[in-house]
């Protein structure tokens, strides 16, 4: 559990972060959303003490971050930044092994961990271990950057706009990968982005920041349905609210008996995808399948019912 | 596929062939009554009977023609090497032929035509090698081969009739001592400047204040004309020699090795400190931020990230210093510092051109070899990922 308590950072009497308090449960993703200058990155960097707080405290699993030297603290916290920050003169394996090396892990344990992580990120170890970052695509570099941050099984992972440099298609895939790996490993992640879409896609809880203050800290569905301020509503976007709500709900929640015609949709897909399929092919219901077997259908009425605002 | 005729020829090859034919019309060697007076120029084919000069002339002409085909870099390289061999052959034939019956004090020297052709063939070699782009190990091999070939030609005695080698023959001991002194000045000052400059560069990288104070001072030192710098060292070091106990016994005096050495160290500091700072600053900001964020200490960031990534730039600084110091060390001869400069300044006093060359030619060869060697070293340290995408 990560507790951020009354955290404040002042630069020349300007409060970049103003008395922020929030708690991140272990094994969840919390996404901090805000415009540039909202203090979201400063807040993140105070957690691993790349910035020292002016006042306030951060506790990781009950222990204050001030109890140890900053570089010791940072070795326990994964850190991923935009543009990945891989070391261009080190191979993929050596990049991933960076923190285990700092922690003096034995050599064979490091090698095994590197291969395990490459497998986890769908990069064949034999093929990628000895390559240099410049030999990889942007998406692969980004995956290696996340693998490096996970290498020493950190208590917490901080990610600062980790997908900012990727093009939209690769970004969507990277987000899905992150979600999958986070569920599998049970990692605790604090992620900063300016993109509400990304926040809704990834977050268990969203923290919206504006002018250094935390204006709302809630589950994505509640951020969409009940924005605390006009700023939050603007971030969500009025027009897109029903669609964003639908994007949070898996098809499996509203599947009913019946056998609609046409191409099927996966039970793991969101209602937004189902709506899109209905509208595009002019159908009022779409068959649903799981692992290639049809398990029922999802109807346009059912989708509409879930998209309506219920106060 | 047929290549259009104008594309089949290498542009530099055409230029050099034209210039080379013109250079053949210029005097190839000179013969003078003694080592002081100016000599008479003789064309290559007038140096000796036809049957003696034609193999060398043919080698030069064919060598120039082989420089023409655009696509055959290996042929161009071979032609240039063959041309160089032709030049050596012509010198070895022309020397004894011209000296025959010319009197005991007569001297023969290479003349304008030879020097132009030498330059042309060396440029052809360079052009062909650029096209072939050999890797660092291959280049190291070629450099060793070239140095070995030069040593073999000089050691074999085929050119010993040339005036500059006669100057050498009459002061073998002094030449050897000067060579060691020259190397000592150039490499010794480089080593001391590196010992001072690397830590200073690292400190400057860390502390912006220090950088702002240091680099302008070093830049100012660099702007002092070299003659003035060596001159300024005389009063400074003679004062040190007189006042500091034991300094005189250690050989520190106004003239000699110490002032020359100190001047070279001062000149070397700017390239070393400047390139160290630039090299360390060249780390991608994201990599530096990631290194900090993952818990590297400042020392670990320096040794594991910043230094390895900056090494090519830092070595480029060393290369600048080495070439610069080999050249500047000539001026040490002026204040009794020894080295090849001794011959240059003796030659200037005696108006003996070949004595000047005895100092100048080894200096040029040394600087060129050092530059090529350092280039190879810089390439070897370039991060692997860059080399692959070159």
What CATH number does the domain containing B221 carry? 1.10.3720.10
- B383 to chain A, any CB pair closer than 8 A? The answer is yes
- B103 to chain A, any CB pair closer than 8 A? The answer is no
Strand partners, A17: A9
Interface test with B, best of A89, A130, A149 (most B CBs within 10 A): A89
Same domain? For B80 and B200 the reply is no
The verdict on residue B284 lying in a domain is: yes
**Max CA-CA distance within chain B?**
83
Residue spans of beta strands (DSSP E) within A147-253? 156-160, 189-193, 205-210, 213-218
Percentages helix, strand, coil for chain B (3-state, rounded to 5) are: 75, 5, 20
Same domain? For B10 and B119 the reply is yes
- B284 to A85: CB separation less than 8 angstroms, yes or no: yes
Q: How high is the pLDDT of residue A10?
A: 92
H or E, element range at B90 = helix B73-99
The verdict on residue B167 lying in a domain is: no
Same domain? For B110 and B203 the reply is no
Rounded to whole angstroms, the Cα distance separating B282 from B388 reads: 19
The verdict on residue B166 lying in a domain is: no
Same domain? For B236 and B109 the reply is no
The owner of tokens 């104070």 is B213
Q: How far is CA A157 from CA A166, B301, B310, in A?
A: 20, 21, 30
- On whether ipTM exceeds 0.85, the answer is no
Q: How high is the pLDDT of residue A87?
A: 92
Q: Tell me the torsion sign for CA atoms A136, A137, A140, A146.
A: positive
A156-160 and A55-60 strand pairing:
unpaired
The verdict on residue B73 lying in a domain is: yes
Q: Compute φ and ψ for A57, nearest 5 degrees.
A: -150, 150
Domain of B362? 172-389
Same domain? For B96 and B198 the reply is no
Instruction: Report the share of chain B in percent with pLDDT over 70.
Output: 96
Strand partners, A286: A298
Same domain? For B198 and B151 the reply is no
Same domain? For B147 and B177 the reply is no
pLDDT by 10-residue block (mean), chain B, 390 residues = 67 84 86 80 80 84 83 84 89 82 81 90 88 86 90 85 83 88 90 91 86 85 83 81 77 77 87 90 89 92 90 89 89 82 87 86 91 87 53
Cβ atoms of residues B176 and B255 within 8 Å: no
pTM: 0.76
Work out how many domains chain B is built from and give that number: 2
Same domain? For B147 and B191 the reply is no
> Which residues have C-beta within 8 Å of that of residue A11, sequence separation ≥ 6?
none
Strand order in the sheet with A55-60: A14-24, A2-11, A55-60, A63-64
Number of C-beta neighbours around residue B133 at 10 A: 10
Rounded to whole angstroms, the Cα distance separating B150 from B157 reads: 12
Number of C-beta neighbours around residue A62 at 10 A: 7
Burial of residue A55 (number of CB atoms within 10 Å: 0-12, 13-18, 19+): exposed
Burial of residue B241 (number of CB atoms within 10 Å: 0-12, 13-18, 19+): buried
Residues of A in contact with B288 (CB under 8 A): 85
In 3D, which of B357, B321, B324, B341 has the Cα closest to residue B181?
Answer: B341
- A85 to chain B, any CB pair closer than 8 A? The answer is yes
Burial of residue A27 (number of CB atoms within 10 Å: 0-12, 13-18, 19+): middle
- B309 to A89: CB separation less than 8 angstroms, yes or no: yes
Cβ atoms of residues A204 and A38 within 8 Å: no
Cβ atoms of residues A278 and A284 within 8 Å: yes
Reduce the DSSP state of residue B286 to 3 states and report it: helix
Q: How high is the pLDDT of residue B388?
A: 44
Strand partners, B326: none
The verdict on residue B121 lying in a domain is: yes
Residues of B in contact with A79 (CB under 8 A): 290, 293-294
Rounded to whole angstroms, the Cα distance separating A228 from A217 reads: 9
Q: How high is the pLDDT of residue B222?
A: 84
Q: How high is the pLDDT of residue B347?
A: 87
The verdict on residue B165 lying in a domain is: no
> Which residues have C-beta within 8 Å of that of residue B213, sequence separation ≥ 6?
none
Q: How far is CA B141 from CA B148, B318, B371, B377, in A?
A: 10, 22, 15, 13
CB-closest option in A74, A85, A88 to B385? A88
pLDDT by 10-residue block (mean), chain A, 311 residues = 92 89 93 91 93 92 91 92 88 94 93 92 91 90 92 90 86 88 91 91 93 92 88 83 84 85 86 88 88 87 80 47
For residue B298, the chain A residue with the least C-alpha distance is A71
Residue B55: give its domain's CATH number.
Answer: 1.20.140
């Amino acid at each position: 559990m990560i507790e951020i308590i009354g955290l404040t950072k002042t630069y020349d009497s300007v409060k970049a972060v103003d008395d922020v308090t929030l708690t991140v449960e272990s094994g969840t993703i919390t996404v901090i959303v805000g415009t540039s200058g909202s203090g979201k990155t400063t807040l993140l960097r105070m957690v691993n003490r790349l910035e020292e707080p002016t006042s306030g405290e951060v506790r990781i699993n009950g222990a204050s971050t001030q109890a140890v030297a900053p570089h010791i603290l940072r070795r326990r916290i994964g850190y991923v930044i935009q543009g990945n920050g891989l070391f261009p003169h080190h191979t993929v394996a050596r990049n991933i092994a960076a923190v285990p090396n700092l922690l003096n892990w034995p050599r064979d344990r490091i090698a095994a961990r590197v291969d395990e992580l490459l497998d986890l990120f769908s990069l064949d170890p034999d093929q990628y271990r000895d390559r240099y970052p410049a030999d990889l695509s942007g998406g692969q570099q980004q995956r290696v950057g996340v693998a490096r941050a996970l290498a020493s099984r950190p208590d917490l992972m901080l990610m600062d706009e980790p997908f900012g440099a990727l093009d939209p298609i690769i970004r969507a895939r990277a987000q899905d990968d992150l979600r999958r790996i986070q569920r599998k490993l049970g990692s605790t992640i604090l992620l900063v982005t300016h993109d509400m879409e990304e926040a809704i896609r990834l977050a268990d809880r969203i923290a919206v920041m504006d002018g250094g203050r935390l204006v709302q800290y809630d589950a994505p569905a509640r951020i969409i349905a009940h924005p605390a301020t006009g700023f939050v509503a603007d971030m969500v976007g009025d027009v897109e609210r029903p669609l964003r709500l639908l994007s949070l709900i898996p098809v499996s929640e509203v599947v009913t008996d019946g056998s609609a015609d046409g191409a099927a949709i996966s039970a793991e897909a969101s209602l937004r995808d189902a709506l899109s399929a209905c509208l595009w092919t002019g159908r009022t219901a779409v068959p649903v399948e799981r692992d290639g077997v049809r398990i029922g259908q999802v109807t346009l009425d059912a989708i509409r019912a879930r998209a309506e605002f219920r106060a | 596929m047929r290549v259009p005729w104008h594309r089949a020829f290498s542009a530099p090859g055409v230029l050099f062939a034209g210039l080379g034919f013109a250079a053949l019309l210029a005097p190839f060697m000179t013969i003078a009554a003694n080592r002081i007076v100016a000599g008479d120029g003789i064309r290559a084919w007038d140096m000796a009977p036809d049957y003696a000069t034609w193999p060398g002339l043919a080698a030069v002409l064919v060598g120039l023609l082989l420089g023409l085909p655009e696509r055959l870099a290996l042929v161009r390289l071979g032609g240039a090497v063959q041309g160089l061999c032709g030049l050596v052959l012509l010198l070895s034939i022309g020397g004894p032929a011209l000296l025959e019956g010319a009197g005991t004090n007569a001297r023969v020297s290479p003349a304008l035509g030879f020097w132009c052709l030498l330059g042309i063939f060396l440029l052809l070699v360079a052009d062909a090698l650029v096209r072939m782009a050999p890797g660092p190990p291959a280049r190291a091999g070629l450099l060793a081969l070239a140095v070995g070939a030069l040593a073999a030609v000089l050691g074999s005695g085929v050119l010993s009739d040339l005036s500059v080698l006669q100057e050498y023959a009459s002061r073998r001991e002094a030449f050897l001592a000067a060579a060691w002194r020259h190397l000592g000045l150039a490499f010794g000052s480089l080593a001391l400047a590196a010992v001072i400059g690397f830590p200073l560069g690292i400190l400057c990288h860390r502390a912006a204040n220090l950088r702002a104070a240091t680099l302008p001072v070093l830049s100012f030192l660099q702007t002092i004309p070299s003659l003035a710098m060596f001159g300024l060292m005389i009063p400074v070091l003679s004062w040190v020699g007189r006042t500091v106990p034991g300094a005189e016994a250690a050989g520190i005096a106004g003239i000699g090795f110490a002032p020359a050495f100190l001047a070279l160290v001062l000149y070397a500091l700017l390239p070393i400190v400047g390139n160290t700072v630039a090299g360390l600053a060249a780390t991608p900001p994201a990599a530096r931020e990631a290194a900090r964020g993952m818990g590297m200490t400042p020392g670990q960031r320096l040794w594991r990230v910043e230094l390895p990534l900056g090494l090519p730039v830092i070595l480029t600084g060393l290369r600048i210093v080495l070439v610069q110091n080999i050249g500047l060390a000539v001026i040490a001869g002026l204040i009794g510092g020894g080295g090849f400069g001794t011959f240059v300044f003796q030659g200037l006093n005696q108006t003996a051109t070949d004595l000047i060359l005895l100092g100048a030619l080894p200096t040029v060869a040394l600087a060129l070899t050092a530059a090529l060697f350092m280039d190879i070293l810089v390439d070897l340290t370039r991060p692997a990922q860059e080399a692959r995408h070159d």
